[in-house]
């Protein structure tokens, strides 16, 4: 079977980027092993005032250390860090944006969680998502999988018992489907979001939602549909972060034939004002995204 290394070489991935992707992918094993001993809360809060799980801080420190020591990364911005980190001794100019442990509150219940990574060139994390050189997420479920794009379609790899990633599915295309997941409490939904959900439910959409963004999106990637975390009445900017959650996953979605929007604009075309800015997110099949934009367009007309 084709390995991750085989694929990256055959795809003509530049040497520094290949080295960085393989380095990040290797962190999945240690991260997964740490779940058993890091299930509590860390007794600290992140930049958003949210209580940090022990795995949030452990995975964050693990990936930051690997990136810093590699000499490949000039800047790194993490959901768990207040400031953008700069590595002065870097010999390459890659920049990483990341959510080191998405869905960490679910570890104690043994549901799937993940690590989300975006990789830019030019040494800066403050770029439009469309400029990404690579995006990936590692999903820790029954299998440890790596979903990856280097701008040449989407590939899914699975880690074997020796820690080698082997190609599970090549050139993934997101089908039109009927699955959906949405965050936020229904009484707090805005009128456009309520209309959208009611519309797709009438057309047969079925809800699947675990609260792990990356795991919920992976279902959409495989079976089609849409993941949403909308603007809410008391939270007009939504909950999820543009740079760490929207941009890498949106880049993967688009490479698989899907799309991402905040209801009116493609989030891959948004220049970030702040590393931690939030945004409403609708990501999924192209047809679902068209419906979102149609409904939001009528509401805002």
Tokens coding 239: 């909950």
Alpha-carbon span 177 to 208, nearest angstrom: 12
CA-nearest of 199, 198, 218 to 208 is: 218
Other residues' Cβ atoms within 10 Å of the Cβ of residue 294 = 12
pLDDT tens series, the chain, 301 aa: 899 999 999 999 999 999 999 999 999 999 999 998 887 654 554 555 555 678 999 999 999 999 999 999 999 999 999 999 999 989 999 999 999 999 888 888 889 999 999 999 999 999 999 999 999 999 999 999 999 999 999 999 999 999 999 999 999 999 999 999 999 999 999 999 999 999 999 999 999 999 999 999 999 999 999 999 999 999 999 999 999 999 999 999 999 999 999 999 999 999 999 999 999 999 999 999 999 999 999 865 4
Task: Confirm whether 4-169 and 179-300 share one CATH topology.
Answer: no
Tokens coding 126: 């403050």
Residue 54's pLDDT is: 85
CA-nearest of 48, 138, 154, 147 to 101 is: 138
- Fold annotation for 4-169: Fructose-1,6-Bisphosphatase; Chain A, domain 1 (3.30.540)
Alpha-carbon span 169 to 236, nearest angstrom: 38
User: Domain residues of the chain, as ranges?
Assistant: 4-169, 179-300
Q: What 3-state class would DSSP assign to 178? A: coil
Residue 299's pLDDT is: 67
CA-nearest of 250, 235, 273, 40 to 137 is: 250
At 16-35, the pLDDT tens digits run 999 999 999 999 999 999 99
Going from the C-alpha of 187 to that of each of 130, 193, 234, 260, the distances in angstroms are 34, 11, 11, 24
Pairing of strands 154-159, 144-149: antiparallel
Q: What 3-state class would DSSP assign to 247? A: helix
Residue 105's pLDDT is: 86
The CATH number of 179-300 is 3.40.190.80
Largest CA distance in the chain: 56
Q: For 133, list phi and psi in degrees, rounded to 5.
A: -85, -30
pTM of the prediction?
A: 0.94
At 233-258, the pLDDT tens digits run 999 999 999 999 999 999 999 999 99
Other residues' Cβ atoms within 10 Å of the Cβ of residue 88 = 5
Alpha-carbon span 294 to 149, nearest angstrom: 29
Residue 37's pLDDT is: 87
Alpha-carbon span 193 to 108, nearest angstrom: 31
Q: What residues contact 95, with CB distance under 8 A and at least 6 apart?
A: 73, 74, 75, 76, 77, 119, 120, 121, 122, 123, 124, 125, 127
Alpha-carbon span 290 to 287, nearest angstrom: 5
Going through 103-162 in order, the beta strands assigned E by DSSP cover: 113-120, 134-140, 144-149, 154-159
């Amino acid at each position: 079977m084709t390995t991750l290394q085989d694929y990256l070489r055959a795809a003509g991935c530049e040497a520094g980027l290949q080295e960085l992707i393989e380095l990040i992918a290797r962190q999945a094993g240690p991260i997964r092993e740490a779940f058993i001993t890091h299930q509590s809360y860390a007794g600290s809060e992140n930049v958003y005032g949210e209580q940090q799980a022990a795995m949030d801080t452990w995975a964050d420190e693990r990936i930051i250390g690997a990136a810093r020591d590699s000499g490949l990364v000039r800047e790194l911005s993490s959901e768990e860090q207040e400031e953008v980190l700069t590595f002065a001794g870097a010999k390459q100019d890659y920049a990483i944006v990341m959510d080191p442990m998405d869905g960490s509150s679910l570890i104690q219940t043994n549901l799937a969680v993940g690590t989300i990574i975006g990789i830019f060139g030019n040494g800066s994390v403050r770029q439009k998502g469309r400029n990404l050189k690579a995006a990936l997420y590692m999903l820790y479920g029954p299998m440890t999988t790596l979903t990856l794009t280097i701008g040449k379609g989407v590939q899914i790899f699975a880690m074997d018992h020796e820690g080698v990633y082997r190609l599970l599915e090549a050139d993934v295309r997101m089908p039109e489907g009927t699955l959906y997941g949405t965050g936020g409490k229904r009484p707090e939904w805005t009128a456009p979001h309520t209309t959208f959900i009611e519309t797709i439910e009438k057309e047969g959409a079925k809800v699947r939602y675990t609260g792990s963004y990356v795991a919920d999106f992976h279902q959409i990637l495989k079976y089609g549909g849409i993941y949403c975390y909308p603007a809410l009445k008391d939270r007009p900017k939504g909950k999820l972060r543009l740079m760490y959650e929207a941009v890498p996953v949106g880049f993967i979605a688009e490479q698989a034939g899907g799309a991402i929007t905040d209801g009116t604009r493609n989030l891959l075309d948004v220049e970030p004002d702040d590393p931690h800015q939030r945004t409403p997110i609708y990501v999924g099949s192209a047809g679902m995204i068209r419906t979102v934009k149609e409904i939001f367009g009528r509401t805002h007309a």
